[in-house]
Structure 1
Amino acid sequence: MLKIREYEFDFDISAPGDLEKYLHSCEVMAEKEKLAPKMPTDVQDPQYMQDYYKWLSAYCKILTDWIDDILGDGACNKLLGPKTSLSGLMNVYDEISEAATAQGNAIGQHIRKYMPNRATRRKVKVQK
């Protein structure tokens, strides 16, 4: 289970299916970013606000889709409510990334507990 804010989601980075879903969602997000409008930088351009709106909308959609792809349809709405903002979405993105990393680190420690390195195994054999 992955806990984000006060909600728990059926997601475990050490489950092959969930890891595959996570990796695939990250790849899809990267592809969508390539096609997204570029962030406008010239605030003097009369088209600036329209271009900024298009950029902002595209990135909100990209992040919403990523969150829902990983945690399930409606997860983004559950976490942020119906009104989403880029800052809110980026915060949830960070929380998911950190929680998935924590899951991975926990299973890594568990694996290392049962798979000591060669030097440790040799040392144990020599002491016997």
Structure 2
Amino acid sequence: MMKLRGHEFDFDISCPEDLERYLRCSEEMTQKTASAPPMPADMTYPHGLRAYTDWMTAYVRLLTDWIDGIFGDGACNKLLGPKTSLSGVMSLCDEIGEAAVQQGNAVGLQIKKYMPNRATRRKADGKK
């Protein structure tokens, strides 16, 4: 289970199906960024600001689709509410990444506990 902002999601980075979904959604998002509008260099009113709004809207959609793809439809709305800002969704993505790393680190500690290194095994077997 992954807990984010007081909500629990049935997601475990050490579960092959969950990790595969995470990777697939990340790859899809990367592919979609190729067709997203570029961030405008000029953000002056009116044309530049319109282009910036279009860019921001595209990236909010990319990130919310990524979150919903991983955790299920409506997950992003559940976590952020109906009004989603780019800064809010980016902060949430950071939290998801940190939570995934924490899950991975916890599993890594378990793996280390059950898989001693070769030197420890050799010593236990009485070899040099």
User: What range is the shorter-chain TM-score in?
Assistant: over 0.9
Matches within 5 A, 1:1-128: 1-44=1-44, 46-126=46-126
* Cα distance, 1:43 vs structure 2: 3.1
**CA RMSD in angstroms, aligned pairs only:** 1.3
Cα deviation 1:24-68 (Å, max 9, x = unaligned): 011011111111111001235852011101100000000000000
TM-score by structure 1 length? 0.94
Q: What letter matches 1:78 in structure 2?
A: K
Runs of 4+ in 1 over 6 A off after TM superposition: none
| SS of residue matched to 1:126 | coil
5+ residue gaps in structure 1? none
TM-score by length of 2: 0.94
Aligned CA distance change for structure 1 residues 45 and 88 (closer, same or farther; 3 Å): closer
Q: Amino acid of the residue matched to residue 67 of structure 2? A: I
Aligned pairs, how many? 127
Give me the identity figure in percent: 61
Q: Which runs of 5+ in 2 are unaligned?
A: none
